[in-house]
Amino acid sequence: MCQSDAAVKLKISQPTLVRILKDRANIKTMPDSDRKQLKRTGHFPQVDAAIAKWIRESCERKAIISGPLIMAKADQFAQMLDVQGQ
């Protein structure tokens, strides 16, 4: 089975699968408590919170959300919240 087929079967993107396979040695040695909490955090908590809320509300409305749309919305929130370092 090729990576793209495996990614489809696992319902994840192919780049995510590649990253998991690349980091599997580190992931296997992590304690279970750390493994469950693998997530990225942003540099601007106010913008992250606003984006998370916007995404939840958009999903409830069954809106189509893309990566570029999220990035544009994050820029808008950063300007509205007067966050420096965008």
In a domain, 61, yes or no: yes
Is the per-residue pLDDT at 85 higher than 80?
A: no
Asked if residue 85 belongs to a domain, the reply is no
Number of domains in the chain: 2
Q: Tokens 């993107």 identify what position?
A: 13
CB 67 within 8 A of CB 37: no
Domain range enclosing 58: 45-80
The amino acid at 36? K
Q: Is residue 76 part of a domain?
A: yes
Domain assignment present for 19: yes
Give alpha helix (H) positions in 11-62: 14-22, 24-29, 32-35, 45-60
How many other CB atoms sit within 10 Å of the CB of residue 51? Answer: 19
51-64 mean pLDDT: 90
pLDDT in tens, 20-44: 888 877 777 777 655 555 566 668 8
- Whether 69 and 49 share a structural domain: yes
Ramachandran angles phi, psi of 78, nearest 5°: -60, -40
Contact 73, 47 (CB under 8 A): no
Residue 86 in domain: no
Query: Which is higher by pLDDT, 2 or 54?
Result: 54
- On whether both 25 and 51 belong to a single domain, the answer is no
